[in-house]
Chains A and B, each alone.
Chain A
Amino acid sequence: MLMQTRFGDFGGAFVPEILLPALEQLEAAFLDAQSDPAFAAELEHLLTTYAGRPTPLTRCRNLGSEKVRLYLKREDLLHGGAHKTNQVLAQALLAKRMGKLRLIAETGAGQHGVATAMAGALMGLETRIYMGAEDVARQQLNVFRMELMGAEVVPVESGGRTLKDAVNEALRDWTASFEDTHYLLGTVAGPHPFPTLVRDFQKVIGKEAREQMLAMESRLPDAVVACVGGGSNAIGIFTEFVPDAEVALIGCEAGGDGKGRDGATIGHGKPGILHGAHTMLMQDEDGQVVDSHSVSAGLDYPAVGPEHAHLAATGRATYVPVTDREALDAFRTLARREGIIPAFESAHAVAHALKLADQAEREGKELVLLVNLSGRGDKDMAQAQALLGGGA
Chain B
Amino acid sequence: MTRRYDAMFAACREEGRGAFGAFLMIGDPDLGASEAMIEAAIAGGADMLELGIPFSDPVADGPVIQAAACRALGAGTTPSKCLEVIATIRARHPDIPIGILTYANIAVARGVGQFAGELAKAGVDSLLLADIPSLEAAPFAAAIRAAGIAPVLIAAPNTPDQALAAIARLAGGYTYCVARKGVTGAKDDMELDHTRLFERLAALGAPPPVLGFGIGTAAQVRASLDAGAAGVISGSAIVAAAAKSGDHAVAVERVVEDLASATKSKRAPRQAQACAN
Contacts and interface: CB of A to CB of B under 8 A. Distances in A.
Given A175-B183, A287-B105, A287-B108, A15 B56 contact: no
B108 A17 contact: no
Interface stretch (A44-52, A278-286, A382-390): A278-286
B106 A287 contact: yes
A168 B156 contact: no
A16 interface: yes
B181 A286 contact: no
B108 A20 contact: no
Interface in B51-76: 55-62, 66, 70, 73
Interface stretch (B26-34, B127-135, B220-228, B244-252): B127-135
A21 interface: yes
A286 B131 CA distance: 17
A12 B56 contact: no
Contacts of B155: 17
A288 B104 CA distance: 11
Given A16-B59, A159-B56, A168-B57, A289 B131 contact: no
A287 B110 CA distance: 8
Contacts of B105: 272-274, 281, 283, 287, 289
A104 B135 CA distance: 25
A285 B109 contact: yes
Contact of B133 (A20, A177, A287, A290): A20
Nearest to B159: A17
B215 interface: no
Contacts of A273: 103-105, 108, 131
A288 B155 CA distance: 26
Interface in B144-166: 153-156, 158-160, 163
A156 to B, nearest CB: 11
A158 B109 contact: no
Given A17-B154, A172-B62, A273-B105, A286 B134 contact: no
A171 interface: yes
B60 A175 contact: yes
Interface residues of A, number: 39
B134 A17 contact: yes
A14 interface: yes
A289 B70 CA distance: 13
Interface residues of B, number: 42
Interface string A347-360: 00000000000000
A29 interface: no
Contacts, number: 113
Interface string B116-150: 00000000000000111111100000000000000
Interface string A230-274: 000000000000000000000000000000000000000001111
The secondary-structure label for the interface of chain A is mixed
Given A20-B135, A176-B182, A273-B105, A286 B78 contact: yes
A275 B108 CA distance: 14
B163 A168 contact: no
B65 to A, nearest CB: 11
A16 B105 CA distance: 14
A145 interface: no
B154 to A, nearest CB: 4
A290 to B, nearest CB: 8
A220 B181 CA distance: 51
A14 B131 contact: yes
A1 interface: yes
A276 B158 contact: no
Contacts of B103: 273
B178 interface: yes
A308 interface: no
B61 to A, nearest CB: 8
A283 B79 CA distance: 14
Interface in A129-183: 158-159, 164, 168, 171-172, 175-179
A1 B166 CA distance: 14
Contacts of A18: 154, 156, 158-159, 178, 181
A17 B156 contact: yes
Contacts of B59: 15-16, 168, 171-172, 175, 275
Contacts of A159: 56-57
A284 B183 CA distance: 26
Interface string A1-33: 100010000001111111111001000000000
A172 B131 CA distance: 12
A272 B181 contact: no
Contacts of A179: 181
Interface string B96-119: 000000011111111000000000
Contacts of B108: 271-273, 278, 287
Contacts of A278: 108
Contacts of A1: 135
Contacts of A274: 57, 105
A282 to B, nearest CB: 11
Contacts of B134: 17, 20
Contacts of A271: 108
B182 to A, nearest CB: 3
Contact of A283 (B60, B70, B104, B109): B109
B185 to A, nearest CB: 10
A165 to B, nearest CB: 8
A172 B183 contact: yes
A21 B106 contact: no
Interface of B: 55-62, 66, 70, 73, 78-80, 103-110, 130-136, 153-156, 158-160, 163, 167, 178, 181-183
Given A14-B132, A18-B178, 20 more contacts: A13-B133, A15-B131, A16-B59, A17-B153, A18-B154, A18-B158, A19-B133, A21-B158, A164-B57, A168-B59, A172-B59, A172-B61, A172-B182, A175-B182, A176-B181, A178-B181, A273-B108, A286-B109, A287-B106, A288-B55
6 contacts: A21-B160, A24-B160, A158-B70, A273-B104, A287-B108, A288-B56
- A-B pairs, top 4 by smallest CB distance, nearest first, are A287-B109, A176-B182, A17-B154, A17-B133
